[in-house]
Amino acid sequence: MARSKSSSRWLKEHFADPFVKKAHAEGVRSRAAYKLEELIDRHKLIRPGMRVVDLGAAPGGWSQLVARELDGRGLVVAMDILDMPSIAGVRFVHGDFREEAAVSQLEALLEGQPVDLVLSDMAPNMSGVEAVDRARAMYLVELARDFADLHLAPGGTFLVKVFQGVGSDAYLLDLRRRYEKVQVRKPSASRKRSPEVYYLATGKR
């Protein structure tokens, strides 16, 4: 089947992307790792001994980076509905974050201990219908927020990808009631035309 013009244009742009080239050269699983790397460097998000949960982890770029930063001095638990090849220093749960059984499996790996950092780079499969996609995306970020509410230690940090649009401002205000400080960040590796931003919430109340 012939590719559409938009598909061909995306592929051309993708393989010309400097962050894609950098990821291939450095053996990094996804260009998204450079978004997190910038935020880690800027905000000193990783400390030895941390317990970190990465929601929507596949293909594993974020978990790979966090495990490298911790260098065996901490715990990284990753979860995704998609399978993910193993990463040294990362415990992986293959399951749907919307289902209680998968979340229970993740919680078992935490052994009842609180988490210092919750990461969520989750995004829904896009249907192309904007209203549907926005609702699905907001549902995922709300689930991630609720997980952080339950499992983050007081003073902990929550980093979540949000697509700006209907519901995102209200979500930001809600986070500001739950955390001491919430900042909006758009890392250099985020494509400029994308509505994605990252809300960095620190100091869980």
pLDDT in tens, 133-162: 888 999 999 999 999 999 999 999 999 999
Domain extent at residue 123: 33-204
Give the per-residue pLDDT at 49.
Answer: 97
Residue 65 is assigned to a structural domain of this protein: yes
96 is in an annotated binding site: yes
DSSP 3-state of 53: strand
pLDDT the model gives residue 6:
46
Q: Which residues of the chain have pLDDT under 70?
A: 1-29
Residue 80 marked as a ligand binder: yes
Q: In CATH, what number is assigned to the domain containing residue 66? A: 3.40.50.150
Q: Could you tell me if 103 and 147 are in contact, meaning their C-beta atoms sit under 8 angstroms apart? A: yes
Q: Please provide residue 202's backbone torsions phi and psi, each rounded to the nearest 5 degrees.
A: -120, 150
Helix, strand or coil, per DSSP, at residue 83: coil
pLDDT attached to residue 11:
40
Is the peptide bond between 18 and the residue preceding it cis, with omega within 30 degrees of 0?
A: no
Distance CA 122, CA 184 (A): 17
Identity of the residue numbered 129: V
Question: What is the pLDDT at residue 17?
Answer: 62
Average pLDDT, the chain: 88
Does residue 57 sit within a domain?
Answer: yes
Let me know: does 27 contact 54? Beta carbons within 8 Å. no
Distances (CA, A) of 186 to 97, 160, 162, 189, 193: 25, 11, 10, 8, 11
Q: Is residue 44 part of a domain?
A: yes
How far apart CA 47 and CA 32 sit, in angstroms, is 21
On whether residue 141 sits in a domain, the answer given is yes
User: Which position has the token pair 């949960």?
Assistant: 53
Choose among 123, 131, 81, 72: nearest CA to 101: 81
Instruction: Give the pLDDT of residue 171.
Output: 98
Rounded Cα distance between 190 and 78, Å, is: 22
Is position 155 annotated in a ligand binding site? no
Residue 8 domain-assigned? no
- Residue 27: the pLDDT is 60
- Within-domain flag for 76: yes
**How many CB atoms are located within 10 Å of the residue 114 CB?**
14
Query: What pLDDT, on the 0 to 100 scale, is given for residue 16?
Result: 57
- In-domain check, residue 181: yes
Does 83 show up as a binding residue in the annotation? no
Catalytic residue list: 161
**Domains: count for the chain:** 1
156 among annotated binding-site residues:
no
